[in-house]
Amino acid sequence: MRYEVFIGLRYLRARSKQFFVSFISLISVGGVAVGVATVIVALSVMNGWESMIRDKMLRSEGHIYVIGNSNPIRTYWTMMQTIEKMDGVVAAAPVLVRQGYLQDEEGENQMGVMIKAIDPQLETKVTGIGDYVSNDLSFESPLIQLAQTRTEDTIFGGIILGKEVANRLRVSKGDIVQLGSRFVRIAGSLHPVIRTFVVVDIYDSGMYSYDAVLAFVSLEAGQQLYDTGDVVDRIEVRIKDIYKAEQIRLDIQMEVGVFYPTMTWMEAHENLFDAIKLEKIVTFIIEALIIFVAAFNIASTLIMMVMDKTKEVGILKSMGATKRSIWFIFTFEGTLIGILGSILGTLLGVFLCWSLQTWLPIRIPNTIYQIDKLPAEVSWSFVAFVNVASLVICWLATLYPAWRASTLKPVEALRYE
């Protein structure tokens, strides 16, 4: 063991008259540990939130959209067959998306919804809707025949409601709802087209922005409701690698032509993910300030130690210790404080993240944050980055005190001894 390391370790060990300095050293270790743990937990929560939001989005929508807009897609079956033959594409499904107005059977509760008309067999290949309903995805159910015996209205078909939509309408599976889709002109005046549906299932994705607005009907029912004919508004495409979406989108665009714009999941939710990215940067900067505060504690501790060890430094230099050796002793002490703080902070941060995911979940309002509990996803590359950054900051904090100690002259250090 180098004598500089031996002396540095001795200086960190408390003796009765030097306990205060060593106590400050412990506070410095704790400061670094708290700073590292806070950064790890804060960014892990942000990573977990981003991943959970992204996963729920990608299980509720396609990865790429071919959009009809004002030009409805009429040859969508042929277009889907062409798209599904392309490299990287898993499946494609037709979708008709329109606004609708729902009310319960008595008309006491009403709300506007987004009607998504889908093909059940094809939709399950593109999205995870089948995992968010209680039964197999189908708009046919014995509940329809049972409901027909309770009403004189003709049942138009089955409908699947988002969980929050059902809560707001105060309906559940088997209940009857009425859907207003459009207006028609009869005898010179406009009349709403209202059809009666039976709730055959509840859609619960766990993401409020979907559960609170979506209602699903079959593609055929949607085309009849809105009198569109055999057309769709868009084609949703599922791909193997979501991060190759832009490349595959360009290939699809070349096939479908300029009259049908294409869009990736990243473009559709660009504002949200840009906001999350900005929040992560700001959060990291704010939390990193805690490490800087701990670094100031290290600098203060070393300055106090230099003042306390003036005589010892003078003796060492008079015995032949070089400036480099004295500098190394004090930078070693500060760096050791940073290492201990980083290790303890990493263990604490990872433990807290693990706790959030297992035995200590924190519930949050999904109406605000879209998810119902605080997630945490540890990125080990980021943990390594935080530790390296912490050690660099702590090492920089040692430079001035170590330099001051190395420039002490033996005569001045021992003058009053």
* CA-angle at 367, arms to 361 and 369, nearest 5°: 55
Pick the most confident of 75-89, 280-294, 371-385: 75-89
Helix (H) or strand (E) holding 243: none
Q: pLDDT tens for residues 257-268?
A: 888 999 998 888
| CA 273 from centre of chain | 9
163: which 2 tokens?
A: 């969980």
Q: pLDDT tier at 14 (50, 70, 90 boundaries)?
A: low
Is-contact 226 156, C-beta < 8 A? no
Distance (Å, whole) CA 417 – CA 395: 32
How high does pLDDT run on average in the chain? Answer: 85
The answer to whether residue 217 scores a pLDDT higher than 80 is yes
16 confidence band (pLDDT: 50, 70, 90): very low
Supply the pLDDT for residue 21: 58
pLDDT at 352: 93
Of the pLDDT bands very low, low, confident and very high (cuts 50, 70, 90), residue 132 is very high
Q: What is the number of other CB atoms lying within 10 angstroms of the CB of residue 249?
A: 22
Q: Which residue, among 328, 344, 346, has the nearest Cα to 402 in the 3D structure?
A: 328
Torsion from C-alpha of 242, 243, 249, 252, nearest 10 degrees: -60
Q: What is the pLDDT of residue 152?
A: 83
Q: Where are the beta strands (DSSP E) in 123-187?
A: 155-162, 176-186
Q: What is the pLDDT of residues 179-212, one digit of tens each?
A: 998 877 776 777 778 899 999 999 998 888 899 9
Q: Is the pLDDT of residue 175 over 90?
A: yes
Q: How far apart are CA 314 and CA 360, in angstroms?
A: 54
Whether the Cβ atoms of residue 334 and residue 394 lie closer than 8 Å to each other: yes
Q: Cα angle at 43 between 336 and 37, to 5 degrees?
A: 30
Helix or strand (DSSP H, E) at 412: helix 410-413
Q: Which two tokens stand for residue 22?
A: 């060593």
Phi, psi dihedrals of residue 375, rounded to the nearest 5°: -90, 165
C-alpha 349/C-alpha 40 separation (Å) is 6
Nearest to 106 by CA among 32, 18, 169: 169
Average pLDDT over residues 36-62: 88
Residue 249 has pLDDT above 90, yes or no: yes
Q: Which residue has the tokens 């400036």?
A: 323
Whats the size of the chain, residue-wise? 417
Query: Which range scores top for mean pLDDT: 138-147, 314-323, 365-374?
Result: 138-147
pLDDT tens by residue, 61-70: 999 999 987 7
pTM assigned to the model:
0.78
First to last CA, the chain: 30
Say yes or no to pLDDT of 93 above 90.
yes
Where are the domains positioned within the chain? 3-57+272-413, 69-260
Which residues fall within 8 angstroms of residue 46, CB to CB, at 6 or more apart? Answer: 276, 279, 280, 283
Q: Which residue has the higher pLDDT, 194 or 315?
A: 194
| Most confident option among 151-160, 178-187, 269-278 | 151-160
What is the pLDDT, as a whole number, of residue 206? 83
Instruction: Provide the pLDDT confidence category of residue 17 given band limits of 50, 70 and 90.
Output: low
Q: Which residue in the block uniquely carries the two structure tokens 């309408």?
A: 169
Residue with tokens 């949050």: 364
* Cα–Cα distance, 262 to 142 (Å, whole number): 39
CB 122 within 8 A of CB 93: yes
- For residue 11, the model assigns a pLDDT of 60
DSSP letter string, 179-206: EEEEEEEETTEEEEEEEEEEEEEEE--S
Three-state DSSP class for residue 73: strand
Reduce the secondary structure of 344-393 to three states and give it as a string: HHHHHHHHHHHHHHCCCCCECCHHHHCCCECCCCCCHHHHHHHHHHHHHH
Give the C-alpha separation, 175 to 196, whole Å.
11
More confident residue, 387 or 361: 387
Residue 234: its pLDDT value, please?
94
Q: Percent of the chain, pLDDT > 90?
A: 39
pLDDT(51) > 70: yes
Could you give the 3-state DSSP secondary structure of residue 232?
strand
Position 88, amino acid: G
Q: Which residues contact 310 (CB under 8 A, 6 or more apart)?
A: 408, 413
- Asked if residue 416 has pLDDT above 70, the reply is no
| Residues facing residue 21 across a β-bridge | none
Q: What is the rounded distance in angstroms from the CA atom of residue 367 to the CA atom of residue 272?
A: 16
Judge whether residue 154 has pLDDT over 60.
yes
- Identify the pLDDT of residue 292: 85
pLDDT value at 18 more than 60: no
